[in-house]
Chain A
């Protein structure tokens, strides 16, 4: 996606329905949005999806929003590692019948 501000709630929900064990959305640093507030919109949408996932008993830990810039390769690696560890701990997506299902859809 060209901007985290274009993320749609449905994309995240569908990712989980399709078996993703975790989803993280990476947006630009706050204040650095090329479209002014796209990353803030994206963050708020992710928060809203978290709210839904908690409400329906799926849990909100499998989705997260991170801010980082295109120049922060190392930070990106850290986030991926952190998220991977979190998902490993949580185990596979409870919606998948295959317990060895792959983790991590990245949007």
Chain B
């Protein structure tokens, strides 16, 4: 199903997509986001806008989407299942569409215990799998999730989901990805890849099931600023794997930041050239957005295709 998403056009054309990420601030000014958007706009096809990531209250992802769109980048609105029930989700999705957003990424969301309101309730009225179905039902069947008809102007999003090749049980991650495709996901962004060997094994299983031919898979990468960041992720973030040699390489580097960028560029080039079935890259430069243009250029992914 064709939507008005530019990202979809690029991916459907068979071009190697590039997306990045912008995290809304913990205040009510759009200045910083606009600044980041201007910095990225020539170098990426779309940017994700995180939805209260790590359960920390931030400016609304949909409101942020308006600022990003206004700054000349196509937003991918992230929607987690933690904070809204199905009524609020559908309402926000229609609102987002009315504001010009054309891509949604469905995810469970981090548990609130990690955020700045650990004593809050969580919702999870629908899960990420069901949210994909909800979006498909609204778009393809012109129905609300309950089955009630949407008489006109149904939201027509390009529907994304996530996959984490580094979480367990490893083999089931591939089956679950297939389940998301069955549910209706059209593009997939993966968790940050540091353990390339494991990602290759993951993609091998993905190809064996033919999943890469049914969905656009964008490999997630993150440039690291130094060995401490690597060590932190290695020890403290559930569902991520950072090989020790990567930590050591950053530790022994003369200029760790430069080395972090080098590693990221190597990863992207390797993925693009050697791992079949990957249709793009999703660069999550956490609090380091300014480095994205350099990475994109050094990977030979600049200029980006023009879509009207």
A–B direct contact (CB < 8 Å): no
Footprint of B on A, CB under 8 Å?
none
